[in-house]
Structure 1
C-alpha cells in the first residue's frame, strides 16, 4: 500500500506558497485543519524532523481513510489525525497538550474528491442525493433545508450566502415546488427552480444556489469565525496563520479578523490609539495562484491566500 496520499483524490492548491508562508521548522508543531486529500499535510510532514509534529483535522470519513496512508508511513509517529470539525480546535489540541503551535493551515471549501463524488451532492455537474454535508454521517442535509426551511429563511440564505439577485423569487418558487413534489435529488432541485435561472448564466447561477445551501448545511461561516478566534489561542506568539478561501464571504471574514481583530464593525483601540488585534498581516494583499498552476488546476482560480503572524497581545 502506498504511504503517500492519492494525487487524484485532491490536488492541493498553492502548495509551495502555503509551505513558504508557514515558515516550517523541522522541530515545529503545526496543524492542518482541513486535511481533505492530505496533499498539504504530506508536504508539511516531509519537512518535519523527529521532534516535529503535525496535527490534522477533518470530519469526513473519506478523509480519515486517506489519513491512514500517512499514519502508516515512515513519518507516522510525527502525525496525528483528529476526526472532528475544526470548530473544536482548541479543545482537541488542548486535550493532547498541543497548544502553542508554530503554524496553522486552513484550506477552506470543498475538496476535489467531494466535488467529484455524485453521492455527496456538492456538484451541479451530476445528479445524486441533495446532501452537501461535509460529515455525511451527521446533521441535516441540503434536502432537509429545502424541505423544512420557511420561505423567509430560504430567502435569507440565498441572498446572504449565495448573493443570488432574485433570492426572494427563488425562495417563493422553491417553496411552491416542494408542495407539489418532494425534492430529494440535484435533478429535482434544478427542475424546481428552472424558471428562476437566467438564460446564458445557468452555471454561475446554480453555483450560487449550491453555495448558499452548502454554507447553511455545514454552518461554514459560523465555524470559520470559531476557527479564527481559536487560532489566536492555539498559536504561540510569532506563529503563522495561513488561510486559503474560495469566495468573498470567507475572504472578508479572514481579512477583517486579521486586520481589525474582529469580524464586523470598527476595530477596538487602546488608550494610545493602537488597534487591539491578535495578528499582524504578513501579506498586504491576498496571494493568488500563478498562471502555471491555473493551467493545471482550475480550482485554484478563485483561491485567495492570506498570511498573518500571531502577535504578543494577550487575550482575555
Structure 2
C-alpha cells in the first residue's frame, strides 16, 4: 500500500460492506495506491483471489508480490472480458473507488489540478488519444457548452463555450496556466470553485468516466454471484446519481448518461442510506463528499 500515491477513503466501512469470504474472488476496479486491495487481501486465505484493475500505468508500481493477486492494466469497463480471460465468470465482490487519485492530482505533468501548471492532458490512460488540450482546440461551441453544463454544472457554460471558441482563433492554449488566463474574465464567483468545475467537466469527457461507470454497472448482474456484493465510492453528484439510481432499480443509463429508461431491480441495498466519510476524511478529499452505495 502506497499512502503517498493515494489515500483510500472509507476503508473500514467499505471492507465491512463487502463481507469478504476468505476463499472468495474479488475485484478492485480502481487499484491506485493499493490501499483497498491490501485491506481485502488481509481477509483472504491462500485460496482467495483478487483482481486489480487500473488503466493508469503508474499504478502498477504499487502492485505487491502476492500470488493471490492479478493486475489488469485496463479500464474497469472491460471487467467481464478480462475476468473471462483468466477463467473467472462470477465473483463474490466488487469495489470501485471512483474519481481521481491523489497521485494524479499531485503530478503537475498530468494536468488534473488547478494548483499546478502543466500540459492540458488529464488522461488517466496515457494510451488514449483524447486530451483536454484537444477538446479545447477542436470541440464545437455547442459541444463545449453541453460539456461544461452537464459534466461541470458551470453556471455560464454557454458564454464560456463561446469565449473559448473565439479565444482559440488567435491564441493557442496548451497548458494549465494559459487556460486559466484565457478564462479569467469568465470566472463567476469563487475562482477556485469555478476552475474546479471546468476541470472536472474536461476530465470526465477526456476519460469518458460516466460512460465507463455505466458499462461497469450494466455488467454487475452477470459477473456478481447471487450472494455477491458491490461497493462504490463516489465523489461528485453525477457519479452518485448514476450509482444510486442503478442500485435502486429506478433507472438504467444508456449511452447518454442523462437519458434514462425503466429497469428491473436486480439488487438489494445493504445500506438504505449512503455511508459518508468522517470530517477528517472530508478534509483530505479533493472532490467533495465520498459515499458508498
TM-score, length of structure 2 as denominator length = 0.95
Match of 2:269 among 260, 281, 290: 281
**Residues 121 and 129 of structure 1 are in contact (CA less than 8 Å); yes or no, is this contact kept in structure 2?**
yes
Equivalents in 1 of 2:104, 2:94: separation in Å?
23
Equivalent in the alignment of 2:57: 61
Aligned: 1:217 with 2:212? no
Structure 1 residue 293 displacement after superposition: 3.4
**Residues 289 and 301 of structure 1 are in contact (CA less than 8 Å); yes or no, is this contact kept in structure 2?**
no
SS in structure 2 at match of 1:205: helix
Structure 1 residue 292 displacement after superposition: 4.3
Match of 2:142 among 152, 156, 164: 152
Equivalents in 2 of 1:298, 1:223: separation in Å?
22
Equivalents in 2 of 1:262, 1:237: separation in Å?
20
Structure 1 residue 291 displacement after superposition: 2.8
**Residues 86 and 227 of structure 1 are in contact (CA less than 8 Å); yes or no, is this contact kept in structure 2?**
yes
**Using a 3 Å threshold, how does the CA distance of structure 1 residues 170 and 298 change in structure 2: closer, same or farther?**
same
Match of 1:248 among 232, 237, 260: 237
Equivalents in 1 of 2:235, 2:274: separation in Å?
12
In structure 2, the gaps of 5 or more residues are: 254-258
Equivalent in the alignment of 2:110: 120
SS in structure 1 at match of 2:89: coil
Aligned: 1:142 with 2:129? no
TM-score, length of structure 1 as denominator length = 0.88
**Residues 133 and 141 of structure 1 are in contact (CA less than 8 Å); yes or no, is this contact kept in structure 2?**
yes
SS in structure 2 at match of 1:193: helix
Equivalents in 2 of 1:240, 1:83: separation in Å?
23
Where in structure 2 are the equivalents of 1:300-311 lying within 5 Å?
Answer: 301-306=288-293
**Residues 294 and 300 of structure 1 are in contact (CA less than 8 Å); yes or no, is this contact kept in structure 2?**
no
Equivalent in the alignment of 2:47: 51
Structure 1 residue 99 displacement after superposition: 1.8
Equivalent in the alignment of 2:256: none
Structure 1 residue 299 displacement after superposition: 3.8
Where in structure 2 are the equivalents of 1:1-316 lying within 5 Å?
Answer: 5-67=1-63, 70=64, 72=65, 76-199=66-189, 201-260=190-249, 262-263=252-253, 265=260, 267-268=262-263, 276-294=264-282, 297-299=284-286, 301-306=288-293
**Using a 3 Å threshold, how does the CA distance of structure 1 residues 298 and 177 change in structure 2: closer, same or farther?**
same
Equivalents in 1 of 2:80, 2:68: separation in Å?
20
| 100-109 or 297-306, which deviates more | 297-306
Equivalents in 1 of 2:8, 2:211: separation in Å?
24
Structure 1 residue 277 displacement after superposition: 1.8
Q: How much is the aligned-residue C-alpha RMSD, in angstroms?
A: 1.4
Larger radius of gyration: 1
Structure 1 residue 64 displacement after superposition: 1.5
**Residues 25 and 49 of structure 2 are in contact (CA less than 8 Å); yes or no, is this contact kept in structure 1?**
yes
